[in-house]
Structures are given as C-alpha cells and as structure tokens.
Chain A
Amino acid sequence: MIGTYKRWKYGQVDIKLALTMAATAIIGVQIGVQIQKYILNHWGNAGSNLYVSVVFVIILILVGGYVSYDAKKLATGGSDTGAETPKLAQKMQKINLPPMMNFPVAKVRISAWITIPVGLATGMLAATIAVGGFIGVPGMIYVIGASAVVASATELGIAFCMGAWGSIQWGLSGLIDIRLTLLILATSLIGVQLGALGTTYVKDYMIKVVMAATMLIVSISRGSKIPGYLADLGLRSPLDPQTAEILNQVSFWSLVAALGTAGLIITFAMIKGISADRKSKRAEEALMHG
C-alpha cells in the first residue's frame, strides 16, 4: 500500500490498469488455488512442492532470460531511456477489438481482451508461487506496452488489491499472525520507500536488469530443490545425504545471492543517479550565480 502510494505520487502508477488487471488476477488466483488443491489431493505435499518448483524454474528462466536479453539490448543499443514500446506490444495495441481502453499513465490504448490473459496469468502465478509480478510486470511491458517503471509500479497496485482480498479471506478463517506481519512491515516500509525513490533516478533498462538478475538467480534456488522432490515422489532414486545437503545449501545461498544482488544493483544505480543529479544541480546553480 505504501509502495503503491509513493510511486503513485511520483506519477508512475496507472490506477486504471492496476484495477483492470486486479479484477482478472483475482479470478486467476481462484483458478490457481483449484489447481493447487487438485495436485495436493492427488500427489500430496511432495507433488505440490514439485509443481511449485517446476513452475518457478520454467517461468523464471523463460521470462528472466528474455528480460535479460532485452535489458542488454537496450543498454548497448544507444537508447537514451530504454523505454521503447516492444514489437509484440505494438502489434497488440493495433488489435481493435472492443471494448478498447485508454490507460493514461502507461500511455497505452489497448483492447480489454488483451489485459484479461495477462491478469489471469498474474493471478494464477500468484496463487502458485506467491509472486504474480514475475508474469505481471513482463506482461505489462511486453504485451501491453507500459514502460518498466510504470509496469513495476502498477504491479504494486495489483499486488495490493490481491493481497487485501487474500488477507480478508485468511482473516475470516482466523489465520493471520499479526506479529509476523508487523515485524516484516517494520523494515519493509523503509525498504519499499527507498526503492520507490530510487526508481526516480534510474533509467528504465536498469529495472529490467534487476528483474532479470533476481529471476535467474532465484531459478537456481528453486531448481536445486527439484531432485529432492522427485525422490520424495519416487520418481528417482533417493539422494544420498551429502548430495541432499549440498543442494539445500545451494538453494539457500542462491536465494541470499538473489536478494543481495538486487539490493546492490539498486543501491549502486541509485547512488550514481543521485550523485549525477546533485552534480547537475550544483553546476546549474554555479552558472546562475555567475
């Protein structure tokens, strides 16, 4: 909520796009939950774990790989902003299938029918791996045609709507531990605002670099869990304790590396942006004062 508000204040959140996507994402969550229940009932916890990890790895490698390729192309292609509309999005925007919708902040006019599959997929992924943004953000960039800054900010709005709806559902069952929620809020409220102001200093392609790095490193973390889950289901021979321990360590440390890498890239890009901005302002002031 605070992240959405801050980035809305910076003019980055397309509320209309967030609400449109959230409406279909909530339906996607329901579909995702039904699939999860089916797998849990048929193959138990091991089946559910394997399903979640496989979905994680496939989505993260495919989307992370493409975002990484795109970020590299923009960084080396001489683009000033890195915010050109991708070809797929340009084609989608040409489809004139009513109802057509205007999204003023994203500066996009597109058929509502194009937003529906993106929203559904975002919700389904959120129900499966708890992070719908891995599809939502690239979907808004490459299919709908929003810039990376607007897409990542609008995703916060979608996540807020889905989160609020989900929290009420869990709250009705009496399953919210408010202590854990508030402990996480204590530091995340600082981090989310620091990240939000950081986006005002970095170029669009830098957001894609952070996304790609996080996705690809997390895929290693989830991928190293798959052999263990396959063994749990009897689909391969049991792992020897040493291999299992190594894979657990790889999974844990690659997750730490993903968080650390994203944090470092954001911090360095932000420091560079702030320092360039201050230098520019000082030069302007010096010029104005003769």
Chain B
Amino acid sequence: MTMTNFDKTMSAAAFAEAGEHKTAKEMLGAETKQPHPAGQKAKSKPYLSTLLYGAISLTAYVFLFKNEQLITTTFTKGGVYTWYPVGTAFFFSFIHGAFASNLLNVLGLEAKK
C-alpha cells in the first residue's frame, strides 16, 4: 500500500512524540521541504498584476463594445482580414488569461506543488 503525504506526516509525528526524532525526520525524507531560511519573505500575492491586467482587459472589452459596428464590419471581410479576429482572440486570451491567473493566485487558489 502506498502511503500518502498526509499518512507519512502523521506517522512521523507519532515517532516524534515518542521521542524518536531521527526516525521521524527519516520518514519525512527528502520530500519534506525545509522551512524558509530566516529573513526570506513568503511569496507575496500578485495584487498589482491583477489590477493592471484587469484594467487592460476591461478597457479592451469596453473599447470593443463601444465600436462593435466598425469592428464587426471589418472583421468579417474575410481573406487577409481573417487575422484580425484571430489576433484579437489571442490578445484577449493573453491579457484576460493573465488577469484570471493572477486573480486565482490572489484568492489563494494555486496548483499543488
């Protein structure tokens, strides 16, 4: 049976409580990360990037819908104009995607390391 990270930690805690500090540390093994060295700050949340990308994204959306008639006419001409909608989709994906990614980080939702 494979032990989960939590199982390993709890087993190690049991050994530590029984005074078997060395065994407890061995159980945690190399997977256990060392605590941050003194003076090293914990990673701060990207509030500024979220605001910046959010503002650019919102401005771009407002600009698009304020000029929707012109944009729709130009973007549906076909031929070489194909790159307009494709490029716009890429632009929004990058900007709004970066905003969404930073927003999730600010909310404390990060992928498991």
Contacts and interface: CB of A to CB of B under 8 A. Distances in A.
Given A178-B88, A178-B89, A283 B109 contact: no
Contacts of A190: 100, 103-104
Interface residues of A, number: 43
Contacts of A235: none
Nearest to B57: A186
A46 B93 CA distance: 36
Interface in A58-90: 80-81
A160 B47 CA distance: 30
Contact of B111 (A176, A200, A276): A200
Given A179-B68, A193-B101, A172 B82 contact: yes
Nearest to B10: A283
A182 B89 contact: yes
A171 interface: yes
A229 to B, nearest CB: 31
A185 B89 contact: yes
A113 B32 CA distance: 44
A280 B5 contact: yes
Contacts of B5: 277, 280
A168 interface: yes
- 10 tightest A-B CB contacts, nearest first: A171-B82, A174-B78, A174-B76, A200-B112, A2-B97, A280-B6, A200-B111, A197-B111, A176-B85, A190-B100
Interface of A: 1-2, 6, 10, 80-81, 164, 167-168, 171-179, 181-182, 185-186, 189-190, 193-194, 196-197, 200-201, 273-274, 276-277, 279-280, 283-289
6 contacts: A1-B90, A167-B86, A167-B89, A197-B111, A200-B112, A287-B24
